[in-house]
């Protein structure tokens, strides 16, 4: 017998009974609930349901609780849009070589060891994000393959830099049973604009997080509840002719810096 599964099932059953009792759930509502779960399966939206119920973020926090430390980088969920084997690039990299619009952003920073603060050379910063319309390349036939994705290697000093664009907020599960539920209960489905990161280095625990664009209209009400204060970027606008010339640009751009701190395997 699986003791843990038995205990979880008993507790879940008890809570379900409480809800049914409290709201005097009708047969008609029960059939609708069962059909809803059937539709979730048909549309492959169980992960999305877990996201909007806040369960994904909660489990992620529990899983990485031993990593929680004020001076360590906060973790966040990977989400469903990650792709393996994004192009490998040296720093400084450009993850949108076929620029077609949006505010240009230069992201830089260091990858450091939590243990002794030393910079981690040849760490891999796996990055993925939406375009300026809030769309990932694998959901958009108009974007080049692996657009706005890359695995960027840190240099000898643990530093990285890449050119990208400022991503945009997006709605999750606009169609399908999760979206229908959100509409029916008066909740929006927006996620504030963010950049996903998966950071790995020899001897360090691979680490996944998201960094958020400040002043986003949805920053205080992320539909999956993934925003943490320490994950909100500071972004600076650069519009002096000198700075633009140095970057070879004819328009203002933005820059931001963030250091990632990795935990060794044994911690």
- Single out the residue of 105, 52, 42 nearest to residue 79, CA to CA: 52
In the complex, the residues that contact Fe ion under the rule CB under 5 A are 79
User: Apex CA 170: angle with CA 153 and CA 228, to 5°?
Assistant: 65
User: Which phi and psi angles does 139 have, rounded to 5°?
Assistant: -110, 5
Which positions ≥6 away from 37 have C-beta within 8 Å? none
State the minimum distance, in angstroms, from the CB of residue 159 to Fe ion.
Answer: 25
Half-sphere exposure for 162 (CA within 13 Å, toward CB): 30
Nearer to Fe ion, 56 or 204 (CB): 56
Paired tokens of 132? 């300026």
State the minimum distance, in angstroms, from the CB of residue 42 to Fe ion.
Answer: 24
- The residue number whose beta carbon is nearest to Fe ion equals 79
| Torsion-angle region of 215 (φ positive above 0: left; ψ -120 to 50: alpha; else: beta) | left
Paired tokens of 234? 């500071």
Nearer to Fe ion, 158 or 173 (CB): 173
Nearer to Fe ion, 228 or 247 (CB): 228
Nearer to Fe ion, 79 or 158 (CB): 79
State the minimum distance, in angstroms, from the CB of residue 211 to Fe ion.
Answer: 11
State the minimum distance, in angstroms, from the CB of residue 57 to Fe ion.
Answer: 13
State the minimum distance, in angstroms, from the CB of residue 205 to Fe ion.
Answer: 22
């Amino acid at each position: 017998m699986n003791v843990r599964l038995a205990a979880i099932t008993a507790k879940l059953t008890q809570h379900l009974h409480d809800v049914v009792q409290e709201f005097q759930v009708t047969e008609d509502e029960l059939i609708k609930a069962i059909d809803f779960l059937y539709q979730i399966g048909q549309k492959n939206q169980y992960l999305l349901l877990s996201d909007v119920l806040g369960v994904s973020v909660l489990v992620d926090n529990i899983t990485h609780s031993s990593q929680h430390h004020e001076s360590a980088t906060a973790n966040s969920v990977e989400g469903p849009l990650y792709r393996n084997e994004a192009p490998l690039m040296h720093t400084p990299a450009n993850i949108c070589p076929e620029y077609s619009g949006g505010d240009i952003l230069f992201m830089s920073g260091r990858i450091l060891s939590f243990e002794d603060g030393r910079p981690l050379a040849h760490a891999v910063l796996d990055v993925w994000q939406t375009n300026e319309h809030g769309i990932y390349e694998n959901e958009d036939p108009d974007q080049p393959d692996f657009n706005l994705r890359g695995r960027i290697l840190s240099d000898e000093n643990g530093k990285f830099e890449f050119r990208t664009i400022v991503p945009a907020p997006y709605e999750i599960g606009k169609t399908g049973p999760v979206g229908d539920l959100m509409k029916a209960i008066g909740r929006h489905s927006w996620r504030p604009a963010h950049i996903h990161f998966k950071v790995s280095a020899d001897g360090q625990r691979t680490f996944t997080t998201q960094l958020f664009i400040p002043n986003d209209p949805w920053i205080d009400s992320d539909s999956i509840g993934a925003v943490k204060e320490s994950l909100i970027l500071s972004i600076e606008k650069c519009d002096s002719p000198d700075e633009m010339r140095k970057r070879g640009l004819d328009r203002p751009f933005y820059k931001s810096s963030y250091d990632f701190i990795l935990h060794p395997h044994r911690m």
